[in-house]
């Protein structure tokens, strides 16, 4: 099976407040090794050979600051900044509207996943090129996961899910542009990821192996882990 042969673009939703990370600047502007999370994420996408354009959805009140920040840091692709929306889905939708006509593959990547290895970006892009309409990186789940429900004021277990059939899904998620645009156009309520919209629209989604280093910075402990991973990379001589 062969897929689209045009240009790939990155879309980076970066308009969240980062409430679970705690007080401070919007999460995407918080620094890791002295460099904003957003800059790490954009650089990781831009480092992929397939990616020539990255569209960033910034907090609406910070568009000028984000533009200046990206101008100050070297990035190996053209970068466009748009105002994000009230939900992640709305932020992605606004970024999609800024893609140029030549783009036929879209990689959607959270600014909150700054340390994604370029190998993972390449793997996702390659799977779309080889014909998969939608691709997500996934990792086996380490914890046992139970479904719960409230019963008489306490939380009760309803069932234990079969862990071997579960995957924790990351970004970048890769799509044929037409598939992602149609899924966003058809969306009625909010999804936490873009592949979820494709699923609801009846499309098939392929899983490729994820990477532990593509973890999402959500809570303060994640930032500590990210600092440690970055320090190890720098000690090993990788530039970042």
Terminal alpha carbon distance of the chain: 36
With CB under 5 to 8 Å by kind, the binding choice for 110 among ligand CTP, Mg ion, none is ligand CTP
Rule CB under 6 A: choose which of 218, 222, 225, 233 binds ligand CTP. Answer: 218
Binder of ligand CTP out of 8, 9, 16, 223 (CB under 6 A): 16
Residue in 8, 9, 28, 53 binding ligand CTP, rule: CB under 6 A:
28
Shortest CB 58 distance to ligand CTP, Å: 8
Q: What is the 3-state secondary structure (H, E, C) of 199-238?
A: HHCCCCCEEEECCHHHCCCCCHHHHHHHHHHHHHHHHCCC
84 binds ligand CTP (CB under 6 A): yes
Letter string b/e over residues 131-170, b meaning 16 or more CB atoms within 10 A of that residue's CB: ebbbbbbbbeeeeeeeeeeeeeeeeeeeeeeeeeeeeebb
Q: What is the nearest approach in angstroms of Mg ion to the Cβ of residue 122?
A: 27
Candidate ranges 16-24, 133-141, 172-180, 183-191; the one touching Mg ion (CB under 5 A)? 16-24
Q: Which stretch binds Mg ion (CB under 5 A): 9-17, 49-57, 66-74, 120-128?
A: 9-17
Per rule CB under 6 A, is residue 27 in the interface with ligand CTP? Answer: yes
Pairwise CA distance, residues 173 & 164, whole Å: 22
Cα distance between residue 166 and residue 5, in whole Å? 32
Total residues at the site for ligand CTP (CB under 6 A)? Answer: 22
CB of 68 to ligand CTP, least distance (A): 18
Among ligand CTP, Mg ion, none, residue 234 binds (CB under 5-8 Å by kind): none
Choices 12-20, 52-60, 78-86, 137-145; region in contact with Mg ion by CB under 5 A: 12-20
| CA distance to 110, 113, 129, 219, per residue, from 6 (Å) | 23, 26, 9, 38
The separation between CA 132 and the C-alpha centre of its own chain, rounded to angstroms, equals 18
Measured in whole angstroms, the distance separating CA 78 from the mean position of its chain's CA atoms is 18
Cβ-Cβ contacts under 8 Å for 187 (sequence gap 6 or more): 89, 197, 200
Q: Residues interacting with ligand CTP, by CB under 6 A?
A: 13-20, 27-28, 57, 84-88, 91, 110-112, 216, 218
Q: Residues interacting with Mg ion, by CB under 5 A?
A: 16
């Amino acid at each position: 099976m062969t897929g689209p042969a045009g240009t790939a673009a990155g879309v980076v939703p970066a308009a969240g407040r980062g409430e679970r990370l705690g007080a401070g600047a919007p999460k995407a502007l918080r620094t890791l090794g002295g460099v904003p999370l957003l800059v790490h994420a954009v650089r990781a996408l831009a480092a992929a050979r397939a990616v020539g354009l990255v569209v960033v959805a910034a907090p609406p009140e910070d568009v000028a600051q984000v533009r200046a920040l990206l101008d100050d840091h070297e990035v190996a692709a053209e970068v466009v900044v748009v105002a994000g929306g009230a939900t992640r889905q709305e932020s992605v939708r606004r970024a999609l509207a800024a893609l140029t006509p030549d783009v036929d593959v879209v990689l959607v990547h959270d600014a909150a996943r700054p340390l994604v290895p370029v190998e993972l970006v390449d793997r996702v892009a390659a799977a779309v090129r080889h014909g998969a309409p939608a691709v997500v990186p996934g990792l086996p789940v380490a914890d046992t996961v139970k479904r719960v429900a409230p019963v008489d004021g306490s939380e009760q277990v309803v069932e234990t899910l079969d862990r071997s059939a579960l995957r924790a899904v990351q970004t970048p998620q890769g799509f044929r542009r037409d598939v992602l645009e149609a899924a966003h156009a058809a969306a009625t309520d909010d999804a936490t990821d873009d592949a979820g919209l494709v699923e609801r629209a009846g499309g098939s989604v392929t899983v490729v192996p994820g990477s532990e280093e593509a973890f999402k910075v959500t809570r303060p402990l994640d930032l500590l882990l990210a600092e440690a991973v970055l320090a190890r990379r720098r000690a090993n001589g990788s530039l970042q």
